Structure 1
Amino acid sequence: MRKSIKSPGMAFRFKRFARKKFSVFNSLGKAVTIGVLSGCALASAHAVSVNPKEKSELQIAPDTLQEVELDEIVVTATKADLPLNLASKQVTLITSADIERAPIRSIQDLLTHIAGVDVQQRGPHGVQADISLRGGTFDQVAILLNGVNLSNPQTGHYSFDIPINLSDIDHIEIVQGPSSLVYGASAFAGGINIITKKDAHSNAFIEAGAGMHALAEAEARLAVKSQPWLNTISAGYQRSDGYMDNSDYKIANVLWQSQFRTNDAAIDIQAGFNDKKYGANTFYSATYPHQFDDTKGIFFSVKGESTGKLKLMPQIYWSRHYDTFQLFRDGTPNIPAWYKGHNYHRSDVFGANLNMQYASKLGITSFGAEMRNEGILSNVLGKAMSDSIDNYTLSDNRTNISFFAEHHFVFDRYTLSVGGLLNHNTALPDQFSFYPAINASFRPISELRLYASWNIATRMPTFTELYYTTQTHIGNTDLEAERSEAFEVGLHYRKNIFRTDLAAFYMRGRNLIDWVKTSPDALWESRNHTKLDKTGFEASVNLNLAEWLGSQQPLQTFSIGYMHIRQNLLKDELISNYALNCLRNKFTASLQHEIVKNLSLSWNFRWQDRVGTYVRYVDLKPAETVHFKPFSVLDAKIAYQWKKMSFFVDANNIFDKKYIDLGNIPQAGFWLSGGANIRF
């Protein structure tokens, strides 16, 4: 998995190993070719297997150059793509192999198995979940699909309403810590980039499954290649009666992607549709168990990439999200007279950005700009409209404009990147803010990478935080933008069968936004907390047991992960709904082994301890403030491979653990399901 190259500073060149396309930069008489994994953010602390025919070819100038070993993994946790050993941030990659052996039904389920990710599920199997990183909130994480930022400006509750099926995913990149320079101003606590498969030839995939609680699901995927085009289309459907009253759901996804490749240019087009309907029992307030949500999401994007001395990567995208929220589900008896009707929302995001990269003997320089417009139409959120549109009587709109620049110095064992983001939002008139980033790494030996980073980021309040005022909540139009500053040091060690990562961080949060109340009987209010500091560390160990102990024994892979966060509590005795309820400890472990030939069993265990409180309700009324209790869950998947077919059975929450991890919502108990798939 390594190649030796010789490099005086940046006088080396990579050839694309995964897409067979390359960009050539000439500088001072020396060719510098930077390998790019198009559309992907492949930043990883894990290894990726590469077909030998697709391995990167590294061409060098032969004279007076010093030899350096680099991993064949391209990372884009910065604005420029670099090999893994030159990266200067902690990043985690979930591979397609990880996904195939996990007992899961959605991306949200998958992320529960990562120690550094906090997942608070309201509904199972991707119905709705709040995803946060390093003690942040769900609104502080940027969610991307192939580099397109689909974060929802209405509320982060809907940021995963994206048209993606598990069979579409090649890998998922998780970048921890403030990442405004990389993913835009909204990446306050980090970013999650979902990367779809880039098929090399025509193929097809079909899967069907069923399980307890009337679970039924189906997925189909088709790829057709006709040089220079590759088109893929996938569709998925899942439904269940739910594990408790009013927890039923129906989810449908359609995703189309088209890729155009020549030696001179690349174009990536994608479009998708997501439809969810689900019972939302106590999702937002335990006073109302008959809530219901009906959401739809549409998106479209086009990305280009040129070749030449100056590489240009323009991108445009548009996404729209519809939300019809019913506090009382249609058909609910005895609806109170004060309830005048459902909440209707339509949010639109339009963005355009241009990233440019220039390589020279001094390194790689990335620079460019982005414009992102966010708007909402609603009958609950926003300012009064002069003329209503359908059910919408309120609206708001803002535009975020960013200019960025970053330069990477790469000298043998050292990497240093310095950059910053200059940001302006029209909701903050006459105000430009600068968010710098400095990242450095050092490789004392080829297997070990030490790194340190300093980053500052921001986040604008969502339209829900600004305007949502109901029987239970009070919005706040005077909210200020959040600001975070993080320092991090860590190491990454990799040698044959053994990989380990360790990171320690300190994060300072200012003007943090949260929904709080002064007593159990009070209303929830959105407020800025003036100060919230966090310290913590993450550690992981991964063992390839099959390579270590030999292929004749049954054990294949084993991994463990642990995260610890400590945060100062505010002096006021506010009851927090989100910001103060972070994970204090999370431990994960997974083991995969064979039972007999082609029959494998995967175990996934997690234990977590959440700091903070929630208001316990009795008979639909607030009773007392209680602390979250630690809990553990064990999941398992058994799979049998026969030629091109695979048969599997998932057992989730094997010991039927009863626990609450968010508000008053009891989580699903034991759930058995299974199915089969075939690849053509």
Structure 2
Amino acid sequence: MYKPNFNKREVIVFRQFQRKGYSLFACLGRVVVIGVLSAATLQSATAATDEVSTKPEKADNTEAIDKEATLDDVEVTGSRAPLALGQAARMVTVLSREEIQAAPVQSINDLLKMAVGVDVRQRGPIGAQTDVSIRGGSYEQIAILLNGINICDAQTGHNAFDLPCDISDILRIEVLEGPAGRVYGASSLVGAINIVTSQSRDTSGEQDYNAQLRLEGGSFGYLSAAGRCSLPSTCKGSGVEALSSSLSASYTRSDGYQRSKADHLNSDYSGSKVFYQGAYADNLMQLQWHAGLSAKGFGSNTFYSGRFDEQYEQTLKFFTAVQGETSGRLHLKPAIYWNRGYDRFELIRGSEDLVPFNHHRTDAFGINLNCYFDWAAGRTAFGGEFRNEDIVSGNLGEPLNTPHGDYKFGLNRSNLSFHLEHNILLKRFTLSAGFVAVKNTWNEMPFTIYPGIDASLRLGQGWKLYASYNASLRMPSFTELYYSVGGHKADKYLKPEELKAVEGGLKYNGPLLSAQASIYHNHCREMIDWIMDPTEAEPVWRSVNYTRVNTLGFETSATLRLDQLLPLKGAILQLAYSYIDEDKVGNSQIESQSTLEYLRHKLVGQLRLPLAERLSLDVKYRLQKRAGSYTTNAGIVQPYHTYDVVDTRLTWSADRYTLYAEVNNLLGSHCVDFGNVRQPGLWLTIGAKYRFNI
């Protein structure tokens, strides 16, 4: 599952994979060079070893030593410039491909539920509509990236996880908790999540396979079919691929788990994805590109209004990007991208004559350049980014001079930023400091600087102490600026939200046990909120920069490698716990829609047991207590109740095929993440994967 990793000074190229610029936040100056990814943990973040050798290590036959050796092969940074493994001052948490394939889930959203610092609030299963946040923030306050490319939706964060790639495409998922404006730009108020894909062959069996088919079926009419293939490649000698690419496609549907009062389906789902990616490398440069499509429609139940239980939403998204990196003394990493999204919302499904549908089309175009070089005082990175966001809509924005079709309003804004960072590297100490300067055209925001500094000290074998201070920002969404229907009045001159945070922690990594503990404090000001003054003659909900929120949080985790104690190869036990307390500063006489519905307590655990040579069992446990309350359709104020969930998966693995059966919510817990939206009970899924060559 998740595992944090730290960078090494020299770039190491391994036999299995060549250095690819897309590997980790590439367009932002992050590089990962990978040999073999060891099993990581979502809930625990175990530190990598501090010292790294480019020479192969002689390991005995024990599984633990193998894991420690392969762990050294991973290079990850938490800054604009790639640093040394074990020296970087900022932690990046990684979910490996191995754990992704073994997890009892049907979507990326479900994968993230086991990250102890991540809050996944679903209004429906299999990725229908999910809000993801980090460390008590909101779904609008995190940056979502695909291969290092910002794919945030400027209309609303509700649609941020409409990803074009299938689970089989994913090489790893990376999570950075805490503000990092100097690294990720204007979207990462409380953190970032990067989905990294791969065009490599499937090496699950004893030989390589360039194609895979997957078929799943289960409860509530669930059916999913997917295919993926690595396209023919060209080589530049010694068996090294100069040009590589892959193509995948998937289709998923479900009848849903409940019906409306009129006995109509209101939680059904159907969606399709197509994703192409490629890469080229020679002695002078590397290029990477991707293009994808995501289309889905789902019954929205009572997602956005408890009065209407037959809502429906349909989204369509296109993604394109090209990235590169040059070799030499000065490394140049340019990237250019364009993403388009369509959204149609129906308050009463199929009844536009009763309530008009909401239509939106958003476009995001961006270009960025990150550069870095080495000199006597360390490693310095600098660069800039330009991003333009545009919307045409039925109700968001300014009136269009020439309305067309369903689009009568629109808005265009641009964001310009520049960054500078320097890194000082000593044998046991690392200091990374820098800033980002940001300007947005819509609200006439002047250039504003957001600094950050990270430091780490390696205390001895396996121990590391780290601390950081970072500031960041988040621009308001188009919905917050212009949604003025149904008793709402938006303010088009909202200011960006701003956050300052301090964090400190201690990590230990040994052959038997890995553990960590951290504490952090966030201070957020100019929080965007919807408020209402009940003393007004005609009270309405208004979007304003109204509140300040102080967050105090604590996280701890541990991983016990059971295969060091028992003759069970690959057996592990993992536990993690997170506690958050938030204090909202505002006028108590004013009613607010933001009721601090964060996860006060979250406990996650995993047990992985090999039952036989090819048979394994994964059991995942999650307990969470959400702060806040909601009002039922009957007008009763109801607090969020504590609930726990057990997910299991039994897997039989062979060279060419894999068979598995999984049960989600084994105990049938009554789960409510959003008021008045009940989650499904026990869900059974049976699936098979088949690998072959074409």
User: For 2:416 and 2:586, how far apart are their aligned partners in 1?
Assistant: 36
- Aligned to 1:367, the other structure's residue is in SS state strand
- Cα deviation, residue 571, structure 1: 4.7
Residue deviations 1:292-332, cap 9 Å, x none?
A: 11100001000010000000000000000000111111059
- After superposition, give the CA deviation of every residue in 1:45-100 in whole Å (9 maximum; x if it has no partner): 757999xxx99569xxxxxxxxxxx9443113211122442222233211112212
CA contact 2:9–2:83 (8 Å) conserved in 1:
no
Residues 1:605 and 2:621 are matched in the alignment:
yes
Q: Say if 1:275 and 1:430 are closer, same or farther in 2 by CA, change over 3 A.
A: closer
Q: Output aligned runs, 1:112-191, within 5 Å.
A: 112-191=113-192
Q: Is the 8 A contact 1:576 1:613 kept in 2?
A: no
Check conservation: 1:492, 1:501, Cα contact below 8 A: yes
CA RMSD of aligned residues (A): 2.8
Question: Could you tell me which residue of structure 2 aligns to residue 541 of structure 1?
Answer: 558
What are the Cα deviations for residues 494-519 of structure 1, in whole angstroms up to 9, with x where unaligned?
Answer: 11232112111000000111334567
**Deviation of 1:577 (Å):** 4.2
Aligned equivalents of 2:217 and 2:255: distance in 1? 12
Contact 2:338/2:366 (<8 A) preserved: yes
CA contact (8 A) 1:35 1:74 kept: no
* Matches of 1:598 and 1:430, distance apart in 2: 59
Structure 1 residues 560 and 248, CA gap change in structure 2 (3 angstroms): same
Partners of 1:242 and 1:299 in 2: CA distance: 28
Aligned AA for 1:639? Answer: T
Contact kept in structure 2, 1:132 and 1:140, CA below 8 Å: yes
The residue number in structure 2 matching 1:61 is: none
> 1:658 and 1:266, CA in 2 relative to 1: closer, same or farther beyond 3 A?
same
- Counterpart residue identity of residue 88, structure 1: A
In the TM superposition, what are the counterparts of 1:67-146 in structure 2 within 5 Å? 71-146=72-147
- Aligned pair partner of 2:507 in 492, 507, 511: 492
Over the matched positions of the two proteins, sequence identity in percent amounts to 36
3-state secondary structure, aligned to 1:669: coil
> More displaced, 79-88 or 151-160?
79-88
- Shift in Å at residue 226 of structure 1? 2.0
Counterpart CA distance in 2 for 1:103 and 1:35 is 30
- Given candidates 478, 481, 489, the residue that maps to 1:474 is 489
1:394 to 409, 417, 420: 409
Q: Distance in 2 between matches of 1:531 and 1:49?
A: 37
**Which residue type is aligned with residue 13 of structure 1?**
E
Quick check: 269-278 or 657-666, which moved more?
657-666
Which runs of 5 or more structure 1 residues have no equivalent in the other structure? 1-9, 24-33, 59-69
Confirm or deny that 1:589 pairs with 2:597: no
1:311 aligns with 2:318: no
Q: Report how far residue 179 of structure 1 moved.
A: 1.2
Q: Aligned partners of 2:423 and 2:20: how far apart in 1?
A: 20
* Equivalent in 314, 326, 329 of residue 346 of structure 2: 326
Paired residue secondary structure (2:674): coil
Alignment of 1:268 onto 2:288: yes
Instruction: Find the aligned partners of 2:301 and 2:484 in 1 and give their Cα distance.
Output: 20
Tell me, in whole angstroms, the C-alpha distance in 2 between the residues paired with 1:274 and 1:236. Answer: 10
CA distance in 2, matches of 1:527, 1:73: 44
Cα distance in 1, alignment partners of residues 344 and 30 from structure 2: 45
- The equivalent position to 1:205 in structure 2, one of 191, 209, 212, is 212
One-letter code of the match for 1:432? F
- Aligned partners of 1:39 and 1:147 also within 8 Å: no
**Which residue of 230, 243, 248 corresponds with 2:257?**
243
User: 2:471 touches 2:498 (CA, 8 Å); kept in 1?
Assistant: yes
CA contact (8 A) 1:15 1:35 kept: no
Task: From the superposition, tell whether residues 35 and 581 of structure 1 become closer, same or farther in structure 2 (CA, over 3 Å).
Answer: closer
Moved more, 441-450 or 311-320: 441-450
1:347 aligned to 362, 366, 386, which one?
A: 362
1:364 to 369, 372, 379: 379
1:35/1:180 Cα in 2 relative to 1: closer, same or farther (>3 Å)? closer
Q: Residue 517 and residue 84 in structure 1: after superposition, are their counterparts in 2 closer, same or farther (change >3 A)?
A: farther
2:278 matched to 1:258? yes
1:457 counterpart = 2:464: no
Quickly say closer, same or farther: Cα 1:488–1:628, change in 2 above 3 A: same
One of 608, 622, 639 as aligned partner of 2:651: 639
Query: Under a length normalisation based on structure 2, what TM-score does the superposition of the two structures give?
Result: 0.87
Q: CA separation in 2, counterparts of 1:12 and 1:383?
A: 51
Residues 567-609 of structure 1: CA deviation (Å, up to 9, x unaligned)? 1133534555456111111000110112333111111111111
Q: Secondary structure at the match of 1:178?
A: coil
Change (3 A) 1:82 1:57: farther
CA contact 1:90–1:503 (8 Å) conserved in 2: no
Q: Which structure 2 segments of 5+ residues have no match?
A: 1-6, 22-28, 57-70, 202-207, 236-241, 260-265
Query: Does the residue aligned with 1:464 lie in a helix, a strand or coil?
Result: helix
Deviations 1:640-674 (A, max 9, x none): 11232111111011111113111211111111111
* Paired AA for residue 562 in structure 2: L
8 Å Cα contact 1:560/1:587 also seen in 2:
yes
Deviation for aligned residue 1:385: 0.6
Does the residue aligned with 2:680 lie in a helix, a strand or coil?
Answer: coil
Q: Is the 8 A contact 2:117 2:135 kept in 1?
A: yes
Q: Scaled by the length of structure 1, what TM-score is found?
A: 0.89
Q: CA separation of 1:466/1:22 partners in 2, compared to 1, >3 Å: closer, same or farther?
A: closer
**Does 1:658 pair with 2:655?**
no
Match for 1:226 among 231, 234, 240? 234
Native 8 Å contact 2:295 2:316 kept in 1 = yes
> Secondary structure of the residue that 1:568 maps to in structure 2?
strand
Matches within 5 A, 1:514-533: 514-517=529-532, 524-533=541-550
* Aligned mates of 2:478, 2:559 — CA distance in 1: 41
Letter in 1 for 2:268: D
1:229-285 deviations in Å (ceiling 9; x for gaps): 101001111000001120001011111001001122100010000001000011111
Instruction: Describe the shift of the 1:534–1:594 C-alpha distance in structure 2 as closer, same or farther (beyond 3 A).
Output: same
Aligned CA distance change for structure 1 residues 496 and 605 (closer, same or farther; 3 Å): same
Deviation at 1:38, TM superposition (A): 7.0
In the alignment, which of 304, 309, 317 is matched to residue 289 of structure 1?
309
Q: Do 1:16 and 1:22's aligned partners in 2 also have CA atoms closer than 8 Å?
A: no
Q: Secondary structure at the match of 1:167?
A: helix
* Structure 1 residues 251 and 38: CA distance shift in structure 2, 3 A: farther
The verdict on how the C-alpha distance between 1:425 and 1:35 changes in structure 2, with shifts beyond 3 A counting, is closer
Cα shift at 1:346: 0.3
Per-residue displacement from partner, 1:401-434 (whole Å, max 9, x unpaired)? 0000111110000000010001100023261100
Residue number in structure 1 paired with 2:390: 375
1:323 and 1:504 map into 2 onto residues whose CA distance is: 39
More strand per residue: 1 or 2? Answer: 1
Paired with 1:22 and 1:432, the residues of 2 have a C-alpha distance of 33
Equivalents in 2 of 1:670, 1:220: separation in Å? 27
Q: Distance in 2 between matches of 1:347 and 1:38?
A: 35
Distance 1:401 1:526 in 2: 25
Cα 1:12–1:193 change in 2 (3 A) is: closer
Paired residues, number? 636
The answer to whether the 8 Å contact 2:46/2:508 transfers is no
